Amino acid sequence: MRAFIFPGQGSQAVGMGSALSAASPHAREVFQEVDEALGQKLSKLMAEGPEDQLTLTANAQPAIMANAIAVLRVLEKEAGLSLADKADFVAGHSLGEYSALCAAGAIDLATTAKLLRTRGEAMQAAVPVGVGAMAALLGVDVEKAQAIADAAAEGQVCTVANDNDPSQVVISGHREAIERAIGMAKEMGAKRALLLPVSAPFHCPLMQPAADAMAEALGGVAIQGALVPLYANVTAAPAGDPELIRALLVEQVTGMVRWRESVLAMQAAGVTSFVELGGKVLGGMVKRIAADAAVISVVSMDDIEALAKTL
């Protein structure tokens, strides 16, 4: 069995999608559709920068999604492969869940782009700049990371945001609490703790205003049944029903990204092969979670051609 997986924030880079766009009219169509949906030349920003503008959450989220869907569109149109035929499940890391749902036909491309623009803006606006922070704890499991977060909280928000793999857990919350956690992490068993260059404390209770905004935005959106089930971030379990998907996308804004558990659950369900579309971040995580799984990351035309030969 096979899962198609989609990367989250941090996968953006100036130049993303440029070579694929130059090589394929189908990729260009995706970028053009996203540009039109947003009323912005996002594809130009992706191709040329500046980097600080591309990194803004409201731009990075739809850009990463557009890049992943462009890869899929080329795979489907030029290699003649269908996700519904070649994938048993889809999953995405944080915003990648929207890419996965778009890929699986649950939400159309233009709507997905608009939702991610709203999500990015709402997440940025939820907490004043400087009030929140995130940190990566390396060399600890999720239980140890939560113990560090609990010890550092001192009445503030400090909690696990991303359970990425057995050796990397991300915490999120008030800046002071995150800085305390970094200070005590080594003596509590972490190999390293480092502040992340993010503009807001994602996936923690401080994001509740953004969750409210997404509940309103998603309430007016048509969600179809997914062609293949989505392994959801907040449950690490499959979801296909449109109303369940809608609820999980709202919960995801403040909830923990249970990526390690999701990969293990997919493996337990029979998945032996993971295909990452539009990035090269999740592949490494998957290998650290499920060492015997086959993993391929697909970004370029060469990657697409190589994958097409194996499917």
Confidence of residue 199 (pLDDT cuts 50, 70, 90): confident
Does one domain contain both 86 and 144? no
CATH number of 159's domain: 3.30.70.250
pLDDT by residue (tens digit) across 122-168? 999 999 988 999 999 999 999 999 999 999 999 999 999 999 999 99
CB neighbours of residue 1 within 10 Å: 12
- Average pLDDT for residues 67-83, to the nearest whole number? 93
Residue length of the chain? 311
With 90 as the cut, is the pLDDT of residue 59 above it? yes
The pLDDT value recorded for residue 80 is 87
The pLDDT value recorded for residue 197 is 83
The pLDDT value recorded for residue 129 is 86
- Share the mean pLDDT of the chain: 95
With 90 as the cut, is the pLDDT of residue 198 above it? no
Q: Of these residues, 21, 93, 203, 297, which one is catalytic? A: 203
Phi, psi for residue 92 in degrees, rounded to 5: -145, 150
Q: Of these residues, 94, 99, 199, 262, which one is catalytic? A: 94
Q: Which residue, 198, 214, 237, sits at the end of a domain?
A: 198
In the chain, how many domains are there? 2
Does one domain contain both 223 and 289? yes
Q: Which domain holds residue 104?
A: 2-126+206-310
Does one domain contain both 81 and 143? no
pLDDT by residue (tens digit) across 29-51? 999 999 999 999 999 999 999 99
Give the predicted TM-score (pTM) of the model. Answer: 0.96
The pLDDT value recorded for residue 164 is 97
Does one domain contain both 14 and 89? yes
Instruction: Determine whether 18 is an active site residue.
Output: no
Instruction: Determine whether 203 is an active site residue.
Output: yes
Does one domain contain both 39 and 122? yes
Quote the tokens at residue 258: 């249970």
Does one domain contain both 240 and 101? yes
What is the share, in percent, of the chain residues with pLDDT greater than 90? 92
The pLDDT value recorded for residue 78 is 87
Does one domain contain both 25 and 141? no
Q: Which residue, 169, 198, 227, sits at the end of a domain?
A: 198
Does one domain contain both 38 and 171? no
Confidence of residue 311 (pLDDT cuts 50, 70, 90): confident
- Average pLDDT for residues 221-230, to the nearest whole number? 95
The pLDDT value recorded for residue 55 is 87
The pLDDT value recorded for residue 151 is 97
CATH number of 81's domain: 3.40.366.10
Does one domain contain both 147 and 267? no
Does one domain contain both 45 and 173? no
Does one domain contain both 182 and 112? no
Q: What does the H/E/C string look like for the chain?
A: CEEEEECCCCCCCCCCCHHHHHHCHHHHHHHHHHHHHHCCCHHHHHHHCCHHHHHCHHHHHHHHHHHHHHHHHHHHHHCCCCHHHHCCEEEECCCHHHHHHHHCCCCCHHHHHHHHHHHHHHHHHHCCCCCEEEEEEECCCHHHHHHHHHHHHCCCCEEEEEEEECCEEEEEEEHHHHHHHHHHHCCCCCCEEEECCCCCCCCCHHHHHHHHHHHHHHHCCCCCCCCCCEECCCCCCEECCHHHHHHHHHHHHHCCECHHHHHHHHHHCCCCEEEEECCCCHHHHHHHHCCCCEEEEECCHHHHHHHHHHC
Does one domain contain both 17 and 36? yes
> What is d(CA 295, CA 130) in angstroms, rounded to the nearest whole number?
37
- CA–CA–CA angle 201, 207, 208 (5° rounding): 165
With 90 as the cut, is the pLDDT of residue 81 above it? no
With 90 as the cut, is the pLDDT of residue 298 above it? yes
Q: Which residue, 175, 198, 221, sits at the end of a domain?
A: 198
The pLDDT value recorded for residue 120 is 93
